[in-house]
């Protein structure tokens, strides 16, 4: 059974969603991420993906207070991403209560640092963020493209013990047009040991069922839920 993980994306402490990672295409859904997190918990959700979009843009963690509040006032298992560029950022995230931290841009731009985090904190506390556009890794809140091949990137980190991979197809994100199932299926075929979390484009319960049918272990969704297109009760059943 596929693991369902709702996402809360934050700008200025509010729950928002972007389209294709474009900060100019921002929609605010709720002024209180904590309120949204409590709602998810009341629905029986156990895991939350919390994204600091201010942090991703400014290259350091910004919304750690919201993380702390959610971890203190709910029992959700939270993984936190966005702006983690230094060990100080990582410590801040773990001190605030995150169970896991997502290493995205820094995993592409400073591998030696992330290798050291794997050694110090353990691979199970890190999620590899693989944000992909046309087969290449994007960085810094999707504002920049690199020349790093997705599959080579995954192979490197999986060989070092990383198991959790959050892969977002940027071209699909926020479009509500369905996920790139072929991409996720190809990753699972090449790396069957990977706990792959599919992200981007999920528009309905049927999309999640299709990912489940393709053998994808987990899925993150955001906009589709906030737009009333996903029924969590039905998914649980």
In tens, the pLDDT along 62-121 reads 999 999 999 999 999 999 999 999 999 999 999 999 999 999 989 999 999 999 999 999
Its pTM surpasses 0.75: yes
The pLDDT of residue 86: 95
Task: Select from 3.10.105.10, 2.30.140.10, 1.20.59.10, 3.20.20.70 the CATH code of 3-236.
Answer: 3.20.20.70
Q: What is the distance between the alpha carbons of residues 94 and 125, in angstroms, rounded to a whole number?
A: 9
Query: Max CA-CA distance within the chain?
Result: 44
Domain ranges of the chain: 3-236
Residue length of the chain: 237
pLDDT higher than threshold 90 for residue 34? yes
The runs of H, that is alpha helices, within the chain are 33-42, 53-58, 64-73, 87-95, 105-109, 111-121, 150-158, 181-190, 205-213, 223-226, 232-236
Q: Which residues contact 120 (CB under 8 A, 6 or more apart)?
A: none
Strand partners, 8: 50
Taking alpha carbons only, the member of 54, 50, 90, 51 closest to residue 74 is: 50
Stretch (H or E) spanning 131: strand 126-133
Residue 140's pLDDT band (cuts 50, 70, 90):
low
Handedness of CA 112, 119, 140, 87 (dihedral sign): negative
75: burial class by Cβ within 10 Å (0-12, 13-18, 19+)?
A: exposed
The runs of H, that is alpha helices, within 43-110 are 53-58, 64-73, 87-95, 105-109
The pLDDT of residue 144: 67
Q: Catalytic site residues?
A: 9, 131
Mean pLDDT of the chain: 94
Question: Percent of the chain having pLDDT more than 70?
Answer: 97
- DSSP conformation class of 143: T
pLDDT by residue (tens digit) across 167-211? 999 888 766 789 999 999 999 999 999 999 999 999 999 999 999
3-state secondary structure of 132: strand
The pLDDT of residue 174: 67
- DSSP conformation class of 2: P
Place of tokens 């049918």: 213
The pLDDT of residue 177: 87
Q: What is the distance between the alpha carbons of residues 181 and 214, in angstroms, rounded to a whole number?
A: 8
Question: Percent of the chain having pLDDT more than 90?
Answer: 83
Chain-centre distance for alpha carbon 105: 12
* Cβ atoms of residues 185 and 211 within 8 Å: no
Residue 56's pLDDT band (cuts 50, 70, 90):
confident
pLDDT higher than threshold 80 for residue 141? no
């Amino acid at each position: 059974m596929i693991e369902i993980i709702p996402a809360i994306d934050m700008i200025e402490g509010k729950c928002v969603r972007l389209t294709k990672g474009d900060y100019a295409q921002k929609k605010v859904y709720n002024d209180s991420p904590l309120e949204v997190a409590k709602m998810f918990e009341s629905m029986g959700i156990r895991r939350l993906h919390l994204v600091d979009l201010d942090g991703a843009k400014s290259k350091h963690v910004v919304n750690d207070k919201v993380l702390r509040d959610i971890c203190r006032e709910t029992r959700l298992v939270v993984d936190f991403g966005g702006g983690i560029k230094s060990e100080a950022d990582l410590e801040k995230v773990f001190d605030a209560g995150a169970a896991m931290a997502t290493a995205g841009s820094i995993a592409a731009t400073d591998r030696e640092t992330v290798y050291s985090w794997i050694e110090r904190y353990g691979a199970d506390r890190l999620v590899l963020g693989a944000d992909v556009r046309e087969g290449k890794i994007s960085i810094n809140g999707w504002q920049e493209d690199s020349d790093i091949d997705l599959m080579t990137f995954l192979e490197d980190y999986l060989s070092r013990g990383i198991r959790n991979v959050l892969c977002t197809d940027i071209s699909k994100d926020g479009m509500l047009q369905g996920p790139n199932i072929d991409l996720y299926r190809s990753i699972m075929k090449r790396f069957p040991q990977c706990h792959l979390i599919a992200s981007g484009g999920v528009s309905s319960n049927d999309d999640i069922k299709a990912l489940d049918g393709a053998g994808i272990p987990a899925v993150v969704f955001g906009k589709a839920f906030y737009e009333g297109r996903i029924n969590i009760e039905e998914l649980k059943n």
